[in-house]
Structure 1
């Protein structure tokens, strides 16, 4: 019982951290607010976002391995597969903003240039799509937790 509660807590904490830093990226990545400090901050925020995503994955896997229901039950559930698929899609989408932040930081440090407005807007759009997809994962989670659509 204590293990299950601690695993749930760790997973929830990682999810909240990931959500906060994704929201921070969305807030910072605005053409009208862009400056050198924002470029540096976006790179740092994205690093924390990535680390928290790894923590979400690790704690989620830990819950399936050491949680009360066990791996056989969890991995036979279509809703878990839906959650994992959404998570992977979000992770793959996050590669583009990460590469852009690093490229922007490199250009800023090399010659002081900032990205153009169109690239900032397209990057923010990708971040916003990630955020909206992320909001679907808890829907699958609450259905899974309540036995809706389970086998």
Structure 2
């Protein structure tokens, strides 16, 4: 039982970290706030977002392997597959902002230029979509934990 509690704690903590860094990206990615320090900070925050997302994945997999219900039960559940699929979709979507943040930093360091308001707005839109999709995953998790739609 201690292992299950520690696995749940690690998973929840990594989810909170991921949500924090995604919210930070959302807050920072505004054309009216854009300056050299924000561009540098966005790259760092995005790196932390990526690291925390990998922690979410690792701790989630650990829960399926070493948790009380076991991998056989978890991987037979359609809701788990829906959660993982949504997580992967969000991960693929996050590649675009990451590449843009890195390009903005390269341009900033090369010639001091900042992204245009249109670039910032388009990138923020993607980050906002990611944030809204992330909010669906705990709903699926709550249903899974309570046996809704389980096999």
Q: What TM-score results when the alignment is normalised by the length of structure 2?
A: 0.99
Displacement after TM superposition at 1:95 (Å): 0.1
Displacement after TM superposition at 1:13 (Å): 0.3
The residue correspondences of 1:61-140 to structure 2 (distance < 5 A) are 61-140=61-140
| Structure 1 outlier segments of 4+, above 6 Å | none
Displacement after TM superposition at 1:76 (Å): 0.3
Task: State the SS of the aligned residue for 1:85.
Answer: helix
Task: State the SS of the aligned residue for 1:147.
Answer: coil
> How many residues were matched structurally?
151
- Unaligned 5+ residue runs, structure 1? none
- Unaligned 5+ residue runs, structure 2? none
Residue matched to 2:149: 149
Displacement after TM superposition at 1:120 (Å): 0.3
Give the CA RMSD over aligned residues: 0.3
Find the aligned partners of 1:76 and 1:58 in 2 and give their Cα distance. 19
Task: State the SS of the aligned residue for 2:113.
Answer: coil
Task: State the SS of the aligned residue for 1:89.
Answer: helix
Q: What TM-score results when the alignment is normalised by the length of structure 1?
A: 0.99
Find the aligned partners of 1:111 and 1:3 in 2 and give their Cα distance. 52
Find the aligned partners of 1:128 and 1:85 in 2 and give their Cα distance. 18
